[in-house]
Structure formats: structure tokens, C-alpha cells
Amino acid sequence: MGRALVLGGGGVTGVAWELGLLAGLAERGVACDEADLVVGTSAGSVVGAQVCSGVPAAELYEAQLRPPRDEVPARLGLGVLARWAWAGARGRDAARARARVGALALSARTPSEESRRAVIAARLPTAVWPARRLLVTAVDAASGEFVVFDAGSGVSLVEAVGASCAVPGVWPPVTIGGRRYVDGGVRSPVNADLAAGAERVVVLAPTSAAVGPMPRLSAQVAALRSAGARVAVVAPDRAARAAIGRNVLDPTRRAASARAGFAQAAVVADEVAAVWV
């Protein structure tokens, strides 16, 4: 396998920052959206579906600068994060830890699946799986099993992305084939290990915090490098963190986050190009 682009989770501001960064890199001749493999987790699944659709990165970036209209405001507050961390940090069994987080998601009061599906569908340029290999991560809410959806899974792209974006305690788990699924970030905020086998890997990680038995991004990257891959990891810089703010689900911060990603591309372009070009 040649080049892999790994897109981590980070809410609506993470979507915007990643698209701004990708557009800025493309403007400088570093076309990460031309990856052979794209791995998307949560916000990254949205970006992955978008960049694999064939829509130019510049156009996707420009869309992030428009005033939000259909986005439902939400808050990923400290209370939700604390309950998530408490459930996930107990014990060393990763699947059981994820199932505890899934149980929180199943019992939470959230908007309906139907309304959330409409929001996800509106974010995607197409509902058809792309020709390029796209992996979308999710977690079975009941068993804690880590699941990777792709074009051969028999699951619609909207369902897969919706499941990957189903933040526990905020958005409803997504029903697929009688099972209910939550955010792929419950297993790992980035899931960079799914790029194993690629020779060159670029990882965009709006957040990389991990609790309990969650795989650490540092360990995933180390394993990729040990296997011979060249890897570049980009996280939001100080200006981007300020633009994103404390609530990654605040759509009013989308444009600022996108601009911050675009500006950061000028700083990291050489580092990314050394791996990618």
C-alpha cells in the first residue's frame, strides 16, 4: 500500500480544522486528499467521506467558512467527558470499558436517530461509498466491539459516518442491522493503527487524549514507524486551539477553526511534504 491519510475525531471544529489544513496543504502542492487509503474516525469520517468524493479540498474549505444553518448546537461539556472517562478508565479490558461507555450512550436522552441522520446526510457530498478505500470506525454500544466499516460492509455511507460520529451522551447511537453503534473515538481518538501496511502516513489529530485502556496515538505511530512507514502527525497549534475553543461541537466556531487550519498548513507543509511527496 502506498499513502494513507488518517483523520481523527474532534467535533464540528475538528472537521473544519482538518479541511482547512488539507486545503492549505493542497495549495502548497501537498495533496493529502489523494491518499490511497483514508481512515476516518468521528469528525474524521465526515472529512474522509468528503475528500474521497472528488470535491476539491479548496471547495470543501470554502464551505466551512459559510455561516452554519443546519447544524444543531450541542455541548460536549465537562460532565459528559467526566462520565465517559469514568466509565472507560475502570479496568484493563478495553472491550468492557467501551461497553460501559456504550451503556451510557444507550441510556442518554438525545435527539432522534432520524433527525441526526438528516444532519449527517447533509454533510456528505454523496451517499455513495467512494472508489478509493475509505475506512470508517465505530464501536458496538452493547458489546464494546471495535468495528470498521468500508464499501464492502453492506452498510450505507450515511449510516457508517453517523455511527462514527455518535458521540456518547450527546448524539443517539446508530442502529445498523439490529445493533447500535457509537463513536469510533470510544476506541481511539485517531485509530492510526488502521494505516498499517502503508509506506507513507499523514495523521491529522484534532485531539489525541486517551483514558484507561485506550490505545495511545504515540504507540500507534511508533508501531507504524517500526514497520517501516514514514509518518507525519499534525495536531492543532496554539492559534488553532484558540480558534477551536473549549466546545468542539459549537458550529459558530467552525469558520475560525477552518481558517486556523489553513494558516497552520504554511507552518507544517515542509514536514508533511517530506513524508508525502
β-strands 37-40, 133-140: how paired? parallel
By annotation, the residues acting in catalysis are 42, 183
CA distances from 276 to 4, 5, 74, 259 (A): 9, 10, 36, 23
Residues recorded for the chain: 277
| Residues contacting residue 151 through CB under 8 Å, at least 6 positions apart | 129, 130, 133, 134
Angle, CA of 163, 85 and 44, to the nearest 5°: 35
Instruction: Provide the 8-state DSSP code for 274.
Output: H
Q: Rounded to an integer, what distance in angstroms lies between the CA atom of residue 95 and that of residue 145? A: 6
